Amino acid sequence: MEAYQIYSLTSAVLFAIGIGGVFASKHFIKKIIATIIMGGGVFLAFVSFAERDALNFADPVPHALVITGIVVAVASGAFALALARRIYQLTGEESFNNEK
Protein backbone atom coordinates (compact mmCIF):
# COMPACT_ATOMS: atom_id res chain seq x y z
CA MET A 1 0.00 0.00 0.00
CA GLU A 2 1.40 3.35 -1.06
CA ALA A 3 1.41 6.41 1.19
CA TYR A 4 -1.00 8.30 -1.07
CA GLN A 5 -3.55 5.48 -0.82
CA ILE A 6 -3.58 5.75 2.97
CA TYR A 7 -4.19 9.47 2.75
CA SER A 8 -6.87 9.18 0.05
CA LEU A 9 -8.80 6.78 2.27
CA THR A 10 -8.26 9.13 5.23
CA SER A 11 -9.63 12.01 3.20
CA ALA A 12 -12.90 10.16 2.57
CA VAL A 13 -13.22 9.37 6.28
CA LEU A 14 -12.51 12.99 7.24
CA PHE A 15 -15.12 14.23 4.78
CA ALA A 16 -17.70 11.85 6.22
CA ILE A 17 -16.83 12.91 9.78
CA GLY A 18 -17.20 16.54 8.75
CA ILE A 19 -20.55 16.08 7.05
CA GLY A 20 -21.79 14.07 10.02
CA GLY A 21 -20.65 16.85 12.33
CA VAL A 22 -22.41 19.52 10.29
CA PHE A 23 -25.72 17.72 10.78
CA ALA A 24 -25.26 16.21 14.23
CA SER A 25 -23.58 18.94 16.24
CA LYS A 26 -25.70 21.76 17.56
CA HIS A 27 -23.38 24.57 18.55
CA PHE A 28 -22.42 27.13 15.90
CA ILE A 29 -18.68 26.82 16.54
CA LYS A 30 -18.83 23.03 16.23
CA LYS A 31 -20.72 23.33 12.97
CA ILE A 32 -18.05 25.69 11.62
CA ILE A 33 -15.28 23.34 12.79
CA ALA A 34 -17.11 20.48 11.04
CA THR A 35 -17.20 22.36 7.73
CA ILE A 36 -13.48 23.03 8.01
CA ILE A 37 -12.83 19.33 8.68
CA MET A 38 -14.87 18.56 5.53
CA GLY A 39 -12.65 20.99 3.64
CA GLY A 40 -9.57 19.32 5.10
CA GLY A 41 -10.77 16.00 3.70
CA VAL A 42 -11.19 17.46 0.22
CA PHE A 43 -7.75 19.08 0.32
CA LEU A 44 -6.17 15.83 1.49
CA ALA A 45 -7.69 14.01 -1.49
CA PHE A 46 -6.28 16.66 -3.85
CA VAL A 47 -2.78 16.50 -2.40
CA SER A 48 -2.71 12.69 -2.30
CA PHE A 49 -3.54 12.58 -6.02
CA ALA A 50 -0.83 15.18 -6.64
CA GLU A 51 1.61 12.78 -4.98
CA ARG A 52 0.33 9.90 -7.11
CA ASP A 53 0.87 11.83 -10.34
CA ALA A 54 4.38 12.93 -9.34
CA LEU A 55 7.17 12.81 -11.94
CA ASN A 56 10.28 14.77 -10.93
CA PHE A 57 8.19 16.67 -8.40
CA ALA A 58 4.62 16.32 -7.18
CA ASP A 59 1.93 17.86 -9.40
CA PRO A 60 2.06 21.57 -8.47
CA VAL A 61 -1.41 22.49 -9.76
CA PRO A 62 -3.36 20.70 -6.98
CA HIS A 63 -0.92 22.14 -4.44
CA ALA A 64 -1.63 25.67 -5.66
CA LEU A 65 -5.37 24.96 -5.73
CA VAL A 66 -5.24 23.65 -2.17
CA ILE A 67 -3.36 26.72 -0.93
CA THR A 68 -6.01 28.88 -2.57
CA GLY A 69 -8.72 26.66 -1.10
CA ILE A 70 -7.35 26.87 2.43
CA VAL A 71 -7.29 30.64 2.32
CA VAL A 72 -10.84 30.79 0.94
CA ALA A 73 -12.01 28.32 3.61
CA VAL A 74 -10.44 30.49 6.30
CA ALA A 75 -12.08 33.64 4.92
CA SER A 76 -15.49 31.99 4.84
CA GLY A 77 -14.91 30.45 8.28
CA ALA A 78 -14.10 33.87 9.70
CA PHE A 79 -17.28 35.28 8.15
CA ALA A 80 -19.34 32.38 9.55
CA LEU A 81 -17.81 33.04 12.96
CA ALA A 82 -18.75 36.72 12.72
CA LEU A 83 -22.33 35.76 11.85
CA ALA A 84 -22.47 33.27 14.73
CA ARG A 85 -21.21 35.83 17.22
CA ARG A 86 -23.66 38.41 15.93
CA ILE A 87 -26.56 35.98 16.30
CA TYR A 88 -25.43 35.20 19.82
CA GLN A 89 -25.19 38.88 20.71
CA LEU A 90 -28.59 39.75 19.31
CA THR A 91 -30.60 36.70 20.44
CA GLY A 92 -28.49 34.85 23.02
CA GLU A 93 -28.83 31.64 21.03
CA GLU A 94 -25.78 29.47 20.49
CA SER A 95 -27.40 26.95 18.18
CA PHE A 96 -30.22 26.70 15.70
CA ASN A 97 -33.24 26.06 17.82
CA ASN A 98 -36.19 24.74 15.87
CA GLU A 99 -38.39 24.17 18.87
CA LYS A 100 -39.38 27.79 19.28
For another protein, the binding residues in 18-77 under the rule CB under 8 A are 18-21, 23-30, 32-34, 36-37, 40, 43-45, 47-68, 70-77
Contacts of 77 (CB under 8 A, 6+ apart): 32, 35, 36
1 binds another protein (CB under 8 A): yes
Neighbouring-strand partners of residue 27: 95
Query: What is the nearest approach in angstroms of another protein to the Cβ of residue 37?
Result: 5
- CA dist., res. 35 & res. 76, Å (int): 10
* Among positions 14, 35, 98, 100, the unique one binding another protein when judged by CB under 8 A: 14
